[in-house]
Structure 1
Amino acid sequence: MLKTLTLQPLKHLKHLWMVLACAGFLMMSNPSQAQFGLILQVGGNSSQWINNPDDVETAARVGYLFGGSFFLGDSWFLMPGVFWGNQSTRVDLGNGEEDNVNRRVLQIPIVGGYRFFHNTPIFSLRPYTGPVLDFQTSVGDNDLGFDKGDFKDLVWQWRVGVGADIFNFTVDLAYDFGISDLLDDGNVSNQTFNLLIGFRLISPN
């Protein structure tokens, strides 16, 4: 199934957006649930490859991401977003060659969850989960010879996270783990920790 998702990303991306549109319509069709928000976010990440061959070692390095998220719902919510970022990993091939491999990604998370304390404008808590689509756009120069052709064009990840809203400011901590292969050759996948700080341009309250 994962192989099918990787080979046909556009088809399944279309299906995801259909589900997103239907869910958003159902939420917005109920006046008591008709809440909409827009959040601008910026932050850092820590990315590491896992399931490596025995002679290959990797270590997480710090990267960045920035973008925005839409908020649909009230207590139960849907939160799709679009982000641009860099994911960096230190790779040691075991033969004396090692370097940082920097991947630029266009990231589309589509998460949903429940917002606690949503009736107060001062503070709310948002645990959430959902799929993340990482489109690999480019790979930085490195001494190991990795380039964009070594990576899947689309990498699927699953996100588990929690966010806190304090007045119009937001803080999110999320963990992404790979549910499809990162490289074209091999079973290497990716895991990433994300820390985001945001500001609500439009508040759902």
Structure 2
Amino acid sequence: MFLKIGRLQYILLGLISSGFILFGKDFITLWVGKEYIEAYNIALWIMIPLTVPLIQSTGVSIMQAKNMHQFRSIVYFIIAILNLVLSIIFVKKVGAIGCAIATGISFILGQIIVMNIYYKVSVGLDIVKFWKNIIKMSIPMGIVMIFGYILNYYLIEINYLNFLIKIGLYAISYGILLWFMGLNNYEKSQVYIWKK
């Protein structure tokens, strides 16, 4: 169940994350203007590390069912303290993005590294198998991201038409490539059910 739901969540979150990496600057420029382009880097530092706990959210329910969620609360408390300390240090050195970097580092250390070790050692989840599946699904995503970079290369001008063309073509390409290279039979069957 942990793997099955995680894969389904990764299908959607992979599209959102990779799409923002490619077209996030255009989105921010069109939405609030070029003067706020720094928000792109800030968003990346928060969005990418946060993707992992989101695709592993079933693990929280499993820990609650096994009455093992106290450890997660302690880890989150330590993440908050670490985030605060690092934010103070980094803001003085690099400005506003320092808070985002601190948050990203805290998420990586706590929510990704520590929690995955805990899932493996104490909860008994097959984390190695989980990550093998995620890496395998990431291959078609990586290929389609190359196509996204090509779109950015040829559609340079930032306007709503180009933006819609790029995200439309990217989403279609993402779906096609993932269908043939990333989805298993169960995931494909869910698409057939949805079509009905």
Which structure carries more strand by proportion? Answer: 1
The one of the two structures with greater contact order (alpha-carbon pairs below 8 A, sep at least 6) is: 2
Give the structure-2-normalised TM-score: 0.27
Which structure carries more helix by proportion? Answer: 2
